Amino acid sequence: MNIKSLLLGSAAALIAVSGARAADAVVVAEPEPAEYVKICDVYGAGYFYIPGTETCLRIGGYVRYDIGVGDVGSFDGAKSFDHESGEEKSTYAKNARFTLKTWTGQETELGTLKTYTETRFNFGNRNGYPSLDNPATPANEFNSNPAGNKNVSLNFAWIQLGGLRVGKDESAFDTFIGYAGNVINDTLVPYGDFDTNVVQYYFDAGNGFSAVVSLEEGSGTVGTIDSYVPHVVGGVKWTQGWGGISGVVAYDSNYEEVAGKVRLDVNLSNELSLFIIGGYGSDDNLNDPLYAIAAGGRGFYKQWGGNWAVWGGGTYKFNEKTSFNAQISYDEWKNLGIAANIAYDVVPGFTVTAEVDYLNAGKFDDADFSNWTGADKKSSVGGILRFQRSF
């Protein structure tokens, strides 16, 4: 065998081996194009398109921690049983909350299609008293107002197309003209109940004038409708740069009573804004003790004591981070509520609020006293410290 033949044989062998290895090589598939989430800025910050759709979605919420001290009647304190003696004693009213919110929006030939949901999860004890069982019995046989997981609540779950909204909402009696002050405990004198299913239509003229008509189911023993006849709420509003004026009227179909509120908002400067609300409602049937479900003078809409009530207050912004908020409320049953706080934005999205609350239950010693806040004395004082991270 000559050198030429040896070289040709070696080359043939190498080619054969290379071909065999090539046949065993792994073929890597080309990656499919990734579909990135697109930002949707049609409805504001935080929205993105759900992949493969024209629907914009936003996810948000907050985490909150409240520490309350003082009297139960101020909506701040709590009571418990002493583990050794069984005696009732004061303690903190604490609550941790996680709230999940979702918003969706999509443009259609019939207008904007929107949804909103809000679900709340809570852990803590109650702003209340321990059960009044015999303290001499073993501790596990009576409720000492322990901390624990509370019921999950669905606060909002509505669909809106154009001006038509259906689903779980809060009553237009409150939402349309706005809640009371920017204080934590704004219902020391209540201004109407909240949770309800609705079928409502909202009209916005685009020039500051708007109106609403809402058919509502109500909630609770007193508030939930007892027939096919819904509660009815109607309202009108006029807003401008200086502030606004608004009013709502509600018909309670269970007790066939009417209640209304008128609100005035005034922006005196960039730093100072004030408001006042006046409420009036009929209550003959609400006060009738012969009703199978007696309301005790407080209906789903006219929750305040007596025929009339007023709420007033305002906000003063010291700077971009710090604001002072205050509210005073009073009703015909001589219930006086005062709340004031300082809210401080530590960093964007994280706010600490310190509030002081006072309730004077004017008819506390009367036989017909209606105890809205669970007060155990005529004058109740308390405070609450709130930490909230919103996202």
Return the ∠ at Cα 385 (arms to 380 and 391), rounded to 5°: 135
| pLDDT reported for residue 141 | 56
87 - beta bridge partners?
none
8-state DSSP, 264: E
d(CA 374, CA 305): 14
Q: Which of 75-89, 95-109, 215-229 has the lowest mean pLDDT?
A: 75-89
Length of the chain equals 391
Give 4 or 155, the one with higher predicted confidence.
Answer: 155
Residue 63 CB neighbour total at 10 angstroms: 15
Q: Which of 14-23, 27-36, 44-53, 238-247 has the lowest mean pLDDT?
A: 14-23
pLDDT digits (tens, 9 = 90+) for 273-331: 999 999 999 999 999 999 999 999 999 999 999 999 999 999 999 999 999 999 999 99
pLDDT digits (tens, 9 = 90+) for 121-169: 999 999 999 886 555 655 555 678 999 999 999 999 999 999 999 999 9
d(CA 391, CA 386): 16
Write out the two tokens for 111. Answer: 């207008």
% of the chain with per-residue pLDDT over 70: 88
**Band of residue 1 on the pLDDT scale cut at 50, 70, 90:** very low
Give the residue among 273, 275, 118 at the shortest CA–CA distance from 186. 275
DSSP H helices in 237-332: none
Rounded alpha-carbon distances, angstroms, from residue 76 to 68, 93, 378: 5, 6, 15
d(CA 322, CA 316): 9
Give 20 or 111, the one with higher predicted confidence.
Answer: 111
When the pLDDT of each residue in the chain is averaged and rounded to a whole number, the result is 91
Contact 214, 294 (CB under 8 A): no
Contact 374, 361 (CB under 8 A): no
pLDDT digits (tens, 9 = 90+) for 328-382: 999 999 999 999 999 999 999 999 999 999 999 989 999 889 999 999 999 999 9
**Band of residue 37 on the pLDDT scale cut at 50, 70, 90:** confident
d(CA 149, CA 147): 7
**Band of residue 22 on the pLDDT scale cut at 50, 70, 90:** very low
| pLDDT reported for residue 278 | 98
Contact 317, 325 (CB under 8 A): no
